[in-house]
A and B are shown apart, each in its own frame.
Chain A
Amino acid sequence: MSTLTKKKSHEPLVHLVKRGSLPSWAAWLIRLAAIAVGFTFCGLVAYLLIAEGPKKPDSLGEFFGKFFTSFYDGSFKLNAAAARRYNRIWEFLRDMAILQCISLAVTPAFRMRFWNIGAEGQTLIGTLAAIAAAFYLGGKVPEGLLLVIMLLAALLAAGVWAVIPSLFKAQWNTNETLFTLMMNYVAIYVVDFFLKIWVPTDSSLDALPHGKLPVIGNNYLFIVLVVAAVTLVTFVYLKFTKHGYEISVVGESVRTAQYSGINVKKVIIRTMLVSGLICGVAGFLFAGKDNTITTTSIGGLGFTAIIVSWMGYFNPLMMLFSSALVTVLQRGRVTQTFGVKGAYEDVFVGVVLFFVIACEFFIQYKVVLRKRHHADGKEAAK
């Protein structure tokens, strides 16, 4: 008996308790703190890496000043020339809108726990279809009609690209994460294939003269308006329609969905079609914006979008914040400010994301330290 009581307690030092509910202001406070800590940590990392650069700052304080300003400069700084005064802000809005659009595309599938990580390929194939339309029909049909054809082509191509994995998922439960991932690379080489047909001798396709997006005041507003509309439509679709409800039920539990008479296969295919169509819109915007295509046109935004969507709790309106945050990070001008080379922006995006990912844990769980007296007290009472 005495050996039993003397045995070391195996109660762990800390244990985790799921929080009942955290007031939303507290959750937001934790998130903001995580972002702030993440930014500061980025600064420290950059300080260590930049230490030998040509524009090395004198002190840590000066460094941090310049460091944070570089993010402001990248997205919000006003230009000296009056004509292009707000260009930076507009460019920021455009980049944010495009990221938001792709993030919207992956969201319906994610809400159903269908891990569609193929937005990169779906968007790229949409861009390809739109560019193909502009390449073959440019100049032969009126400009307005051409844009409509480009949009339809992009929607069709991206829709097909997204539906293919979903058919197999619905029919044979094929792993969708790996399938959609592979489809990205198939798309890249399809683009490569067409580029070699269109420009056999040259390395890249020159910007096409036709199929430019309409100019509303400036080159950016059209994209922003389109994405704003898509955001609203997606929000309403997910929140207030029967389709949206079915998606949520399938996401919660496939069995529940089947029991309540939802045709799960149909929902999977339909939702991926919606995902693909939104990717098609993004692809159309890429095509109209650049008027050309390369295998890296999307530049990894399809992957970033997944993170943005997750950070926004798969809620189209919340995602506005996360896409703005990521865009600010990506547009930071640290390399220019400190005269260094390299993909610093990617490092910062990564680091801030790690902190945001980690902070979600502390929003969901409470860490409880082991109480020493508790166990001892009981024994003393005996």
Chain B
Amino acid sequence: MNPWLNFAIESLGFGAIFMYGATGEILTEKSGHLNLGIPGIMCMGGAGGCLALCLVGGLQLPGFLVVLIGILGAILFGMLTGLIYSFLTITLRANQNVTGLALTTFGAGLSKVLFGTMDHTVYLQFSRTLFRQPFAARSDALQKLGILFYLAILVCVVASYVLMRTKVGLRLRSIGENPGTADAVGVNVTRYKYIATLIGAGIAALGGFYSIIDFEASQEAYKNLEEYGWLSVALVIFALWRPHMAIVGSIIFGFLYRCASQLTQLGGIFSAMTAQSMLKMLPYVFTIAVLIFTSIRNKRENHPPASLGLPYFREER
């Protein structure tokens, strides 16, 4: 395959990690909760999926079942980790920044511990071809566009539809803007917040799992997850809190980030080593630029949800 096309496809696949992370975080933020624990949740999602695969490793199950078990394991672990955040910030009204950061410390640490106890030959080798359907047999970048990649796009589109075109989405957005008003019209704020943060955590968890099992497919992959998690948080701003924009954003982020690590293979154009660090910096610089630009233009629909980061206590209205 043409190396450029190969590279383009690879960065597309890489971007799917951020699609999951960003979509999960968008749903969470739309309910008014800034979850800085997303990197930790992604780590735990990866660990949970691989743990589930380890459990069924020797059972000779049919392929689709293995894939399903892996996905469910990742979602379950992600949601359990997210539940800590949801309980502390929604029910106990804890500071969201502090709780989120503690969750990232916890999740990243625990996932490293869990991966230390797992045998990578079990969770990686038998499952890789299953997750890489339908292109598992190819030797170029196309093999990385497995089942979870298409699921990522599906998740983005569905999340976008639900948020923008359904009653549930409207209610969720209204909670993010002003929970007091939503409460007054009879929306169950607490239930919505729990559901949004938990589903968000489950989706983000899949990003971690995809990175380990399909995209990188290596025993070292889990060490990078925390950084990908922070990139996902950045992508939320870049996408202006719209899941379908996250698809575009993640392709750009994936391209820039991959550019940096592929420089030596591609050769020629950016030969200087220092260009690598500059390229890796670009997603963050772009995000800052978007952040500044939207705040200057001051258009309502491009702003973060108005109650983002603030706890809601009915009796303090």
B287 contacts the other chain (CB 8 A):
yes
A129 CB, nearest partner CB in chain B, Å? 17
A351 to B112, CA, bound (A): 15
A323 to B254, CA, bound (A): 38
In contact, B285 and A200 (Cβ under 8 angstroms): no
Q: Does B34 contact A (CB under 8 A)?
A: yes
Cβ 8 A contact of B273, one of A168, A177, A200, A300: A200
Report the minimal beta-carbon distance from B227 to chain A, rounded to whole angstroms.
Answer: 8
CA distance A310 to B98 in the complex (A): 7
Q: A350-B107, A354-B102, A358-B88 are in contact. Are A343 and B113 (CB under 8 A)?
A: yes
Chain B 270-293 near chain A by CB (<8 Å), digits 1 or 0: 000110111011001101100110
The minimal Cβ–Cβ distance linking A203 to chain B, given in whole angstroms, is 12
Question: Is there a chain A Cβ closer than 8 Å to B1's Cβ?
Answer: no
Q: Which residues of B contact A185 (CB under 8 A)?
A: 230, 234, 281, 284
Give the one of A177, A178, A197, A344 with max B CB within 10 A. Answer: A178
- Least CB distance, B278 to chain A, in whole angstroms: 7
Contacts A115-B309, A168-B292, A350-B109 known; A307 to B280 CB distance under 8 Å? Answer: no
Tell me which residues across on chain B come within 8 A of A343, comparing CB atoms: 108-110, 112-113
Stretch at the interface among B89-97, B168-176, B180-188: B89-97
Known contacts A52-B117, A346-B108, A351-B106; A357/B92 CB under 8 A? yes
Asked if A344 and B278 sit within 8 Å, CB to CB, the answer is no
B295 and A172 within 8 A (CB): yes
Interface size on A, residues (CB 8 A): 49
Q: Does B124 lie at the interface of the complex (its beta carbon under 8 Å from any beta carbon of A)?
A: no
Docked complex: A29-71 residues within 8 A CB-CB of B: 49, 52
SS of A interface (majority): helix
Q: How far is the CA of A7 from the CA of B316 in the complex (A)?
A: 28
Q: Is B116 an interface residue (CB 8 A)?
A: yes
Closest CB-CB distance, A167 to chain B, in whole Å? 10
CA distance in complex: A185, B253 (Å): 14
Tell me the bound Cα distance from A185 to B277 in angstroms: 11
The answer to whether A361 and B94 have CB atoms under 8 Å apart is yes
Q: A174-B292, A342-B113 are in contact. Are A181 and B98 (CB under 8 A)?
A: no
Q: Cβ of B304 < 8 Å from any Cβ of A?
A: yes
Q: Does B298 count as interface, using CB distance less than 8 angstroms? A: yes
Give bound CA distance, A242 to B111, whole Å: 47
> Is there an interface contact between A346 and B109, defined as CB atoms closer than 8 Å?
yes
Question: Does A91 sit at the interface, judged by CB under 8 A?
Answer: no
Whether A350 lies near B288 (C-beta < 8 A) is no
Interface residues of B in 58-109 (CB under 8 A from A): 84, 88, 92-95, 97-99, 101-109
Q: Is B239 an interface residue (CB 8 A)?
A: no
Q: Is A95 an interface residue (CB 8 A)?
A: no
Most buried by B among A186, A197, A340: A186
Known: A168-B295, A183-B288. A357 touches B94 (CB 8 A): yes
Chain B contacts for A162, CB-based, 8 A: none
Interface size class of B (residues with CB under 8 A): 35 or more
B112-145 CB contacts (< 8 Å) to partner A: 112-117
B92–A361 CB distance below 8 A = yes
- A303: Cβ under 8 A from any B Cβ: yes
Complex Cα spacing A353 to B106, Å? 9
B220 at the interface (CB under 8 A from A): no
Among B99, B296, B316, the residue within 8 A (CB) of A357 is B99
Q: Are B106 and A349 in contact (CB under 8 A)?
A: yes
- CB proximity of A222 to chain B, nearest CB, Å: 29
Q: B301 at interface (Cβ–Cβ under 8 A)?
A: no
Which of A142-150, A187-195, A211-219, A248-256 lies at the interface? Answer: A187-195
Q: Are B276 and A303 in contact (CB under 8 A)?
A: no
- Measured between beta carbons, the chain B residues less than 8 angstroms from A358 are 88, 92, 94
Give which listed residue, A190, A307, A346, A354, contacts B88 with CB less than 8 A: A354
Q: How far is the CA of A175 from the CA of B290 in the complex (A)?
A: 11
Least distance between B61 CB and chain A CB atoms (Å) = 25
| Neighbouring B residues of A304 by C-beta, 8 Å | 101, 105
Binary B-proximity of A254-265 (CB < 8 A = 1, otherwise 0): 000000000000
When the two chains form their complex, are residues A49 and B113 in contact, meaning their CB atoms are under 8 A apart? yes
B53 lies within 8 A of chain A by Cβ: no
B233 touches A181 (CB 8 A): yes
Query: A361 vs B313: C-alpha distance in the bound complex, in angstroms?
Result: 12
Is A16 part of the contact surface with B, judged by Cβ < 8 Å?
yes
Residues of chain A contacted by B278 (CB below 8 angstroms): 189, 193
* B interface footprint on A302-332 (CB within 8 Å = 1, 0 otherwise): 0110110010000000000000000000000
Q: With an 8 A cutoff between CB atoms, is B17 at the interface?
A: no
The answer, yes or no, to whether A225 is at the interface (CB within 8 Å) is no
Chain B residues with CB under 8 Å of A18's CB are 315-316
Q: Shortest beta-carbon distance, A214 to chain B, in Å?
A: 33
Asked if A173 is at the interface of the complex by the 8 Å CB criterion, the answer is yes
> Distance in Å from the Cβ of A337 to the closest Cβ of chain B?
15
Residues of A within 8 A of B217 (CB): none
Measured between alpha carbons, how far is A185 from B228 in the docked complex, in Å? Answer: 12
**Residue pair B288, A182 in contact (C-beta under 8 Å):** yes
**Complex contact B230–A347 (CB within 8 A):** no
Interface status of A341 (Cβ within 8 A of chain B) = yes
Bound complex: CA A174 to CA B274 (Å): 30
A112 at the interface (CB under 8 A from B): no
CB of B67 to closest CB in A, whole Å: 27
Q: Are A190 and B281 in contact (CB under 8 A)?
A: yes
The CA of A304 and the CA of B109, in the complex, are separated in Å by: 13
Contact assessment for A172 and B88 in the assembled complex, using a CB-CB cutoff below 8 Å:
no
* Chain B residues whose C-beta falls within 8 Å of the C-beta of A347 in the assembled complex: 106, 109-110, 113
* Residues B84 and A354 in contact, CB atoms below 8 Å apart: yes
Among residues of B, the one whose C-beta sits closest to the C-beta of A362 is: B92
- Chain A residues closer than 8 Å to B113, beta-carbon distance: 49, 340, 342-344, 347
Query: Which residues of the other chain, A, contact B199 by a CB distance below 8 angstroms?
Result: none
Q: What chain B residues lie within 8 Å of A239 (beta carbons)?
A: none
What would 6 A/B residue contacts be, using CB atoms closer than 8 Å?
A172-B296, A175-B291, A181-B234, A182-B287, A303-B101, A347-B106
User: 6 other contacts beyond A172-B292, A349-B106, A357-B98, with CB at 8 A cut-off?
Assistant: A52-B117, A173-B295, A342-B112, A343-B110, A343-B112, A360-B92
